[in-house]
Amino acid sequence: MSVRSHLIIATRESRLALWQAHHMRDRLTGLYPEARLEILGMTTTGDQILDRTLAAVGGKGLFVKELEVAMREGRAHFAVHSLKDVPMVLPEDFDMIFTGPREDPLDAFVSNDYPDLQSLPKGAVIGTSSLRRESQLRARFPHLEIRSLRGNLDTRLRKLDSGEYQAILLAAAGLMRLGLADRIRTRLSLEDSIPAVGQGALGIEFLKDDLETRAALEPLIDHATALRVSAERAFSRRLAGSCDVPLGAHAILHGEEMHIEGFVAAVDGSKLLRESVRGNSSQAESLGTQLAEVLLAQGAAEILGDRVPLV
């Protein structure tokens, strides 16, 4: 199978998304030094709507739709995504590989005044864009005031620095990739916050029938990352995971054994179910689905309502 000599990478135009696109371009240049690689920056609907939560305006797909259109129209060959922003089910004409190594998947506590969540006083304002983080915060720290926080990473940090919030929660991976690790006061433990599905991992999306592009991308596959995120995404798919369903999952590998922990909750934190399962990593997707079934047996359907897909 021949490999394309010219590849165009579609990406959002946020600083973090551009870092990710340039990172992939550099890796591909190392593999194919004679190839011509271009970056097509685009502003997505998700980047334009900042006054409402993602759950209120259409979900994670708002960050990828325009990039998919560019690929369908032949203006780009593939797109680089933060995997946590990618819907659990891709359009039928697209496929994805998972690349790595995976960056730190944990949530980060960022504050100019306090060292950690536990030190925030009653009524302190904490910002987050995630219903997943919000539900876990409300369950464990009901004395805090949680306010919506949208915008790219730099915008969120600027709002913190201007005094709108006493603290904000962000993905540690984004801060680390942009050289901002010094803004992290602490990383949230899994007890306080199970991460988003795929957090810290990168996905590369391309048209399923574009075999030349697939051949060029296959050397970028990271099998350990692929196993972990495949389990997490299977968990989320079974529970109709989207940004209006507060859930998270975190899979780790111990040799050939996988341990995956997940939760589902009501947004207000009044109900939160959490469990874990172990098994052979070769059955990664089955383990993710198994974990979802455990939570469904414990009453997750009552939290999710009619969003649970039929099987």
Q: Report, as residue numbers or ranges, the catalytic residues.
A: 85
Please provide the DSSP assignment of 273-304 as one string. Answer: EEEEEEEEGGGHHHHHHHHHHHHHHTTHHHHH
Candidates 22, 44, 62, 3; CA nearest to 210 is 3
φ and ψ at residue 112, rounded to 5 degrees: -90, -10
Q: 162 is written with which tokens?
A: 């201007």
Residue 48 CB partners (closer than 8 Å, separation 6+): none
Describe the crossing of helices 153-161 and 15-31 by its angle, rounded to 10 degrees. Answer: 140
Cα–Cα distance for residue pair 130/195, rounded to 1 Å: 11
Q: How far apart are the first and last CA of the chain?
A: 37
